[in-house]
Amino acid sequence: MSPNEPKNRARTPHLVIAPVFSHYGFKSWTLIFLPEEIIGVPHSPWPIILKTGFFAAVLMRARAYAVDWKQGARAREEWSTIESTKLPKNAWRIPLSSVKRIELRRQLLSASELRIQQTGQPEFLFGIYDPSELGHCAEKLRRAYPRIYFEQ
């Protein structure tokens, strides 16, 4: 966003992914991909982690995916437009100009990985638990960021 634009201008994201996990599954996020930046909004971790973890632990993956899907649908509705003044104070932002690479690594038996690498910074690593989200995410990221998006 340029300094001349109003701070509360509503913006429409390319993609909203939720929930994604980091820190070995102990942190849960909504990732918002905008034309000029990527925003990470933290969730209260315990409700989603406990529900997803419980269902995954008792081998009820379909129920775990349903929990993820509901959380994702709620986040996509909540973040369908973004106003900078309404972001939580603990949300982090990465300007797209500093992003070197966005990579989606598909995994068969575990959560797939979404990696975001900034120039001169450590890589952010997120897990996407629900495999039904991967095709949609890959397509949107490929279209929105063709020069920096990669798949493995």
Considering the domain boundaries, does residue 86 fall inside one? yes
pLDDT digits (tens, 9 = 90+) for 136-147: 899 999 999 999
What does the pLDDT read at residue 143? 95
The strands making up 149-151's β-sheet, listed across from edge to edge, are 92-95, 37-42, 27-33, 15-22, 124-128, 112-118, 99-105, 149-151
Residue 148 and residue 101 in contact, taking contact as beta carbons nearer than 8 Å: yes
Domain range for 33: 15-151
Considering the domain boundaries, does residue 7 fall inside one? no
pLDDT digits (tens, 9 = 90+) for 81-101: 777 778 888 899 999 999 999
CA distance 6 to 84: 9
Query: How many domains in the chain?
Result: 1
Considering the domain boundaries, does residue 132 fall inside one? yes
Task: Tell whether the model's pLDDT for residue 42 goes beyond 90.
Answer: no
Considering the domain boundaries, does residue 5 fall inside one? no
pLDDT band at 47 (very low <50, low <70, confident <90, very high): low
Considering the domain boundaries, does residue 1 fall inside one? no
pLDDT band at 22 (very low <50, low <70, confident <90, very high): confident
Considering the domain boundaries, does residue 6 fall inside one? no
Considering the domain boundaries, does residue 27 fall inside one? yes
Q: Is 8 helix (H, G, I), strand (E, B) or coil?
A: coil
Cα–Cα nearest to 32, from 150, 114, 131:
114
pLDDT digits (tens, 9 = 90+) for 58-72: 454 444 444 455 565
Task: Tell whether the model's pLDDT for residue 45 goes beyond 50.
Answer: yes
pLDDT band at 16 (very low <50, low <70, confident <90, very high): confident
What does the pLDDT read at residue 1? 47
What does the pLDDT read at residue 65? 46
pLDDT band at 34 (very low <50, low <70, confident <90, very high): very high
Considering the domain boundaries, does residue 9 fall inside one? no
| CATH code of 38's domain | 2.30.29.30
What does the pLDDT read at residue 46? 55
Helix or strand (DSSP H, E) at 72: helix 61-78
